[in-house]
Amino acid sequence: MPLRTRIALTFLLLLTAVLTAALYAVSAANRSNAAREVQRQLDVGVSVFTRLLDSNRRLLTQAAQAVAADYGFREAVAANDTATMNSALENAGARVGAALVVLTSLDGHVLAASGSHVAAGSVFAITAPHGNRVLVDSGRIYQMVTVPVRSPLPVAWISMGFALDDKAARELAEITGLGVTLSLGSGARTQVASTVPAGSAADPDIAARRIALSNQGDTEVEATLSRSLSEARAPFERLTDRLFLIAAVSLIAFGWTAFAIARSITRPLQDLTRSVDRIRGGDYDLALTVHRRDELGVLADGLKHMQTAVQSRDQSIRRLAYQDALTGLMNRTAFGAALSVALSGAGNPTVAVAVINLLRFRRINEHLGYSVGDEVLKAIASRLSALPSVDSAVARLATDEFAAFTRLSDPAQLQAWGTSLLAALVEPVIVEAQPIDVAATVGLAMAGGGQPDADDLLRRADVAVGRARREKHALAIYQDSFQPAAREQLSLLGELRRAVEEDELRLYFQPKIELATTRVAGAEVLMRWQHPTRGLLSPAAFVPFAEQTGFIRRITRWALDRAAVQGAEWHRAGYSIPLAVNVSADDIDERLDSRIAAILARHQLPPCLLSLELTESSFIDDPERALRVLTALASLGVGLSIDDFGTGYSSLGLLARMPVHEMKVDRSFVLGLASDPGYAAIVRSAIDMGHSLGLKVVAEGIETESIAGRLRELRCDIGQGYLYARPMPAREFAAWLEGKPRVPVIAPLVDLPAQDHTDTQSLVIY
């Protein structure tokens, strides 16, 4: 739903809710007021009706007393002059409008009457002077008063009354404003007099009030005052109808107004939204047409400033994304895109790529400063860009590395083009009047028949420049023989962690033989990887890469732990075999001794049954730290061995200080004993030096009996190699070991601390 519609509907719904509540409250109040007004009118009507009856009573009483006090009337009563009495009664009734005047004896017999068909001498049911005031005679209702006739004592009664008929009811209705109904009887009511219309007290829309006038035996006389509620509510309902009409008109007018206001608000927002969409799409040239002085105008001005700022930043980002800030050349991203376009062009000649690496540029920064180095880079960039052959297709790939590509009509021109690049850099660069010689190495690659993509072609040129640097050549052209390690080998790096977690690594054991007695002196622990798809892999397939990434620490800990488990199992089985585990240079840290102690304590392996083989490179970088670590390890009681002795660059003085127990002569020297007499001197010197330092000497790589015999002649202590056994799994090694003599080992358990330390590893692919 559009915002404009939501705003208008929201206000309409709010107004509708307010008007509905107000109209409901007014309607309820009107009904309540109408009901209260009717009740008030009934109360007033009852009061007026009562006062009217009382006024009639006083008038009747005065008229009757006037007749009773008349001397002539009393003489007529005394003389029983019927004609005079009837005349006096008629005159008295006519004066006040009485409908009934009756003269009775003290015992109730009629003496004379006016306005009644009561016969003289009959008994007239008359009330006492202070009795009921209403009389029912022949189905008619009269309001009566009775006064005595005295002469001087009471001699007769005069009863005078007004008729309560339709005329009286109408008069009462005119005075009270209510419907008046006079009724008598018990059970079914008999209506005697009423207004027109009188209404019905049983009607739920009629409010009524009953007044009991008399109760003569079984005859009840009532006056009912009534008021129609619908008539009372009619003025209020007319007011309510007007209010509903006003509310409907207000809703319509407000709806149009709300939609107009919402439209005035949302139309600029829609314009701004479209502008934002265009800016998001990269169109910064649009002109904002919202000109207002309210908040929307402020928003439009802010969007305009944002548009300018975003456009400026976008241009800066594009320059940073595709241009080298220092030299103004293309960067790697832009160069790759331009090279892709050149490679995909139809009918274009062969594309050649060159990577130019500046030699000794780091020394320029170190000795002359970064500002001088920046000027050198700018000069090199300018020279390369000026070459016609590159046609501005030059990029700066890294700090001291440039790249260029060109189109050659003949592949034989590749070397000549590379030479032209070198020639452009022969002359010294003059910075601050100081000539600076800059040497460079160029690697060249050409798109062959397979049409490699830009990344692959650039990679080939980079491989070529690496080969040129290693071989100290100024120029090298890529050949397939330069191909680095296969990608499937690199992919193994990502699977090493899974291999450890899912227990895909395996331990193999190669026995170590005491040459003088052919007894088994121990075994070296080697590692294999049972890859789920590539089969059994040797350490050469993954250990070098693990060392490059630092993950070798995790692998070494796994190997130490599993070797300790196996060694402890064999020790408990009754044959103690010292096991040697290779430790890389990355494993040599200040906590290595605590980790080894924890492993030994956890698996209850005597320290003398574990030996650590370290290469000479392990302690070249920081010999003092290595000496501290080895001393701590030796204090645990584990064996220490220098592996591949003779292939490193260790100091003999440092070797003499290290608490090692044996040294291993590299297999390259051992294998040379059979073919080159010069190797015998090297091996003899190594053995003699090891013995002079109190070390046992181990020769690895023994494959023939002649080599073994020669080593015995040189007094080598221990040998290992395919002559005795290949590396084998633990179960096969245990079976091979059965029945073979072993060098006795005393292996007591040592109480070691069991606290271990967990390393935080990160896998980095170089």
pLDDT in tens, 510-539: 999 999 999 999 999 999 999 888 889 888
Which pLDDT value is given to residue 152? 82
3-state secondary structure 415-463: HHHHHHHHHCCCCCEEECCEEECCEEEEEEEECCCCCCCHHHHHHHHHH
pLDDT in tens, 496-514: 888 888 889 999 999 999 9
Q: Indicate the angle between helix axes 552-573 and 592-603, nearest 10 degrees.
A: 30
Given a cut of 70, is residue 107 above it in pLDDT? yes
Q: How far apart are CA 216 and CA 239, in angstroms?
A: 48
pLDDT in tens, 154-194: 888 888 888 888 888 888 888 877 888 888 765 556 666 66
Q: How far apart are the first and last CA of the chain?
A: 55
From the centroid of its chain, how far is CA 414? 58
Q: How far apart are CA 686 and CA 305, in angstroms?
A: 79
Q: How far apart are CA 505 and CA 403, in angstroms?
A: 43
C-beta of residue 609 within 8 angstroms of C-beta of residue 637: no
Greatest C-alpha distance within the chain: 195
Q: How far apart are CA 681 and CA 68, in angstroms?
A: 179
Q: b/e for 250-263, b at 16 or more Cβ within 10 A?
A: eeeebbeebbeebe
Which pLDDT value is given to residue 654? 66
Mean pLDDT of 724-734: 94
Which SS3 state, helix, strand or coil, does residue 693 take? coil
pLDDT in tens, 682-716: 889 889 988 998 999 999 999 999 999 999 999 99
C-beta of residue 348 within 8 angstroms of C-beta of residue 407: yes
Given a cut of 60, is residue 648 above it in pLDDT? no
C-beta of residue 608 within 8 angstroms of C-beta of residue 747: yes
Nearest by Cα to 364 from 379, 384, 343: 379
Mean pLDDT of 45-67: 86
pLDDT in tens, 203-229: 567 777 888 777 655 567 888 888 777
Copy the structure tokens of residue 99.
């409908």
Sign for the pseudo-dihedral over CA of 78, 80, 82, 84: negative
Q: How far apart are CA 670 and CA 718, in angstroms?
A: 13
Q: What are phi and psi of 741, to 5 degrees?
A: -70, 145
Helix extents (H) in 323-449: 332-344, 361-368, 370-386, 414-423
Which SS3 state, helix, strand or coil, does residue 484 take? coil
C-beta of residue 596 within 8 angstroms of C-beta of residue 633: yes
Which pLDDT value is given to residue 699? 93
Q: How far apart are CA 458 and CA 355, in angstroms?
A: 8
Determine if residue 97 is left, alpha or beta; phi over 0 gives left, psi from -120 to 50 gives alpha, anything else beta.
left
pTM as predicted: 0.47
Given a cut of 80, is residue 397 above it in pLDDT? yes
Given a cut of 90, is residue 87 above it in pLDDT? no
Which pLDDT value is given to residue 469? 84
Which pLDDT value is given to residue 346? 53
Strands (E), 265-343: none
Which pLDDT value is given to residue 764? 37
Given a cut of 90, is residue 565 above it in pLDDT? yes
Tell which wins on pLDDT, 119 or 589: 589
> Average pLDDT of the chain?
81
From the centroid of its chain, how far is CA 686? 68
Nearest by Cα to 355 from 435, 239, 202, 458: 458
pLDDT in tens, 125-136: 766 555 447 887
Tell which wins on pLDDT, 4 or 241: 241
Q: Which of the given ranges, 213-217, 226-230, 569-573, 647-651, has the highest pLDDT on average?
A: 569-573
Q: Strand 350-359 relative to strand 190-194: parallel, antiparallel, unpaired? A: unpaired
Sign for the pseudo-dihedral over CA of 3, 5, 8, 10: negative
pLDDT class for 611, splitting at 50, 70, 90?
very high
